[in-house]
Amino acid sequence: MLTGVRTNLSYLIFDALRTIRENPASAIFTAVTLGFSLAILAFFFIIFVNLNMAASGLADRVHMVVYVKDGFASYGPDKIKKDALGVLGVRSAEYVSKEAALKELKDSLKGRESVLDAVDINPLPASVEIKVLDAYMEPMLFGAVVDGVRRLQWAEEVQYSGKWLKKFSAFLKFTEVLAAVIGVFLTAAVVFVVTNTIRLTIYAKKDEIEVMRLVGAGRAFIMLPFVIEGVLHGLAGGVVSIGMLSVGMYAVSANVPAQMSFVIAMPATVPVISAALLSAGLIMGGISSVISLIRFLK
């Protein structure tokens, strides 16, 4: 099967390059189309990452407060925090002592602290502010966390905002479904474009393939130049998409005031994104050509 392939790898690569050189217009068209699709895919991914970050911001707003029963103040903040963190789904727990609660209250009454002068014992209970892991931001799981917290010995009362929770969980579901749908569509589009171009090249070389078969060429020997061509198209498309993405990101950041540039979060560093785009192009190019070849050689 691989007879002749190993000894002639450089010849086969050269052959693929020659095909591209003989029809540069088609090669450029493929690279640009592929580049566009990959850039859209990458843009979308960046938007998705940013949406998710925004969602995490929302998640921080969904928290619960557990009031500590008065008799348990002697337990000590560390023990109480540890108990809270031990409940499944809890991300962080912040102990607010009676004194801290009073101070907070005084701060919020700025200028009118005198209202409290009459009170000489602190009426406020100690509390624990709990944040929940993103994965539990969904009404049923969140409810389980609330139950877990409520079962702690020292827990008096649990307060949380259910309305925020519902909104947040709906938003998260929406972005996930959207991401999946658009991702699948874009990937399919990219594979379709490359498959089609490679198919055209294969049809243009139909007679040549027939001659190769007649002379005794094996499948690998016939397929390799086309696969290499597909991979090269893919790499070129990757380069084009990197260019488009740079221009796009520059345009976006130029229109966002400097002090707000944190608004755009990149999912990874520039070299990592570039490498990801190049390898995505490479893999899609290779897969597409194998798909169209197998169909043709059947």
Partner 1 sequence: MIQLFHVTKSYDKSFAALKDVSLKIAKGEITFITGPSGAGKSTLLKIIFGSESPTEGQIIIEGRNYFRIPPREITNLRRRIGFVFQEFKLLPNKTVYENVALSLKIMGVGAREERERVLKMLTYLKIIHRANFKTISLSGGEQQRVAIARALVKDPAIILADEPTGNLDPEMSIETMELFKEVNSRGTTVVVATHDKGLIDRYARRAIHLEAGRVVC
- Give the footprint of partner 1 on this chain (CB under 8 A): 1, 3-8, 11, 22, 208, 210-218, 221
Least Å distance, CB 12 to partner 1, is 9
Whole-angstrom distance, CA of residue 17 vs CA of residue 39: 25
Tell me phi and psi for residue 267, to 5 degrees. Answer: -70, -20
Nearest C-alpha neighbor of 266 from the set 33, 25, 10, 50: 50
Contact 276, 62 (CB under 8 A): no
Least Å distance, CB 5 to partner 1, is 8
Least Å distance, CB 29 to partner 1, is 21
Nearer to partner 1, 166 or 205 (CB): 205
Nearer to partner 1, 11 or 192 (CB): 11
Nearer to partner 1, 113 or 208 (CB): 208
Contact 25, 228 (CB under 8 A): no
Least Å distance, CB 215 to partner 1, is 6
Least Å distance, CB 287 to partner 1, is 24
Nearer to partner 1, 71 or 216 (CB): 216
Residue 284 CA from chain centroid, whole number = 19
Q: How far is CA 136 from CA 59, 86, 141, 215, in A?
A: 10, 15, 5, 64
Nearer to partner 1, 55 or 209 (CB): 209
Q: Give start and end residues of each alpha helix (H) in 109-218.
A: 114-117, 139-150, 162-204, 206-215
Nearer to partner 1, 150 or 213 (CB): 213
| DSSP label at residue 151 | T
96: enclosing H helix or E strand = strand 90-96
* Structural tokens at position 238: 């990757």
Least Å distance, CB 234 to partner 1, is 24
Nearer to partner 1, 25 or 215 (CB): 215
User: Hey, what amino acid is at 184?
Assistant: V
Query: Coil, strand, or helix at residue 64?
Result: strand
Least Å distance, CB 11 to partner 1, is 6
- Residue 24 neighbours by CB under 8 Å, 6+ apart: none
Whole-angstrom distance, CA of residue 67 vs CA of residue 44: 43
